[in-house]
Amino acid sequence: MIEKPMDIPLVSLSVRVYRLLLVAYPAKFKQEYGPHMLQVFGDYCTHVFRQNGVQGMFRLWAVTIFDLFQSLIEEHLQKETFMTKSKFIRLGGWSLMLGATTFFLFILAAHMESNFYDPFRRLQVFYAAGNVLGIWFTPILLGVGILGLRARYGKQTGNFGHNILLTGAIVGPAITLLGIIGSEAHVAEWAWILLFAGNATLLACLTIWGIMTLQTKPLPRWNGLPLIAGFWFPVLLPSALIAEASRVSGDLTLNIATGTIPIQCIALFMLGYMLQADVPEETPAIA
């Protein structure tokens, strides 16, 4: 008997996640192509699962996510009716501020869960909410914020600076989503690392762009802000993994990076505030 996509739990999960991602496309595109894309994806998932099992599905999602995020951004940027450049930049600023807030709550919840004794599990709701905010919402919010930076200042830092911001906005959320799918499907023990690596990759790209802003000075003031806003978490994550692997507690680099995360969140918030306040005159398109 030929299995339908919904008869296989992992395929069913993949189709539901893909359906949610399609919601982000422009309405006209979604109406015209959405049902066909969903049907083709479901059929292909079934084929891949029957041929290569869970590992094949994980590889399929790795390719699908990067392609989907890239096409999603391109579709929105090419739609003059989606949003003017000024409105998009302002949205990017607000997204950075909100993303800085959810990121801080995520780090705070993770730190408290690891270091705070909670015998009656009274803080479990806070820990769970912090993980949801950090894993599901922060990469998206920061990704939109970085696209806002790219729209406002990207070209002033040259082609490389323009492209590194786009890379962060696509690759960061894509890695996080791949980690979510990998963790839910129990593909590999290390899949959970991708849940944190998405934010680290996104902020690493912001760090690289921040180094360039020190030279080109595209911001109206505080051109060192992007570097401060991006640097610390990409340092914290590998330090934490190394400390855990070597069973070393009190690692100096880890403690310094953890202690400076609030500074990073403040810098992200300030960068978003500056971006939404520094909006150019209205133009008909984003790109």
Q: At CA 64, angle to CA 238 and CA 53, rounded to 5? A: 90
Question: Closest Cα to residue 180, out of 141, 136, 140?
Answer: 136
What pLDDT shows up at residue 80?
Answer: 45
Taking the C-alpha atoms of residue 229 and residue 214, their distance in angstroms, rounded to an integer, is: 13
Nearby residues of 269 by Cβ (< 8 Å), 6 or more positions away = 96, 97, 100, 101
Q: Name which residue leads in pLDDT, 61 or 100.
A: 100
pLDDT in the model for residue 257: 59
Confidence of residue 286 (pLDDT cuts 50, 70, 90): very low
Lowest mean pLDDT among 176-190, 214-228, 239-253: 239-253
Helices and strands (DSSP H and E) totals, the chain: 9, 0
With a cut of 80, say whether residue 212 has pLDDT above it.
yes
pTM of the model: 0.72
Tell me what the mean pLDDT of segment 92-99 comes to.
92
- Condensed to tens digits (0 to 9), the pLDDT of residues 120-143 reads 666 677 667 777 777 778 888 899
Using pLDDT thresholds of 50, 70 and 90, give the confidence band for residue 238: confident
For residue 100, report the phi and psi dihedrals to the nearest 5 degrees. -65, -40
252 pLDDT tier (thresholds 50, 70, 90): low
Q: Are 142 and 97 in contact, with CB atoms under 8 Å apart?
A: no
Q: Which of 169, 176, 168 is nearest to 204 (CA)?
A: 168
Instruction: Tell me the pLDDT tens digit for each residue of 7-30.
Output: 677 788 888 888 887 877 777 777
Q: Mean pLDDT, to the nearest integer, of 172-194?
A: 75
Of the pLDDT bands very low, low, confident and very high (cuts 50, 70, 90), residue 119 is low
Cα(17)–Cα(14) distance, rounded to whole angstroms? 5
| Interatomic CA distance for residues 287 and 220, integer angstroms | 21
**Percentages helix, strand, coil for the chain, rounded to the nearest 5?**
80, 0, 20
Token code pair at residue 255 = 């403690």
The single-letter code of the amino acid at 159 is N
Mean per-residue pLDDT of the chain: 79
So what's the pLDDT on residue 285? 45
pLDDT at 240: 67
Query: Would you say residue 241 has pLDDT above 90?
Result: no
pLDDT of 113 > 80? The answer is: no
pLDDT tens for 78-92 read: 654 455 778 888 888
- pLDDT at residue 121, as a whole number: 66
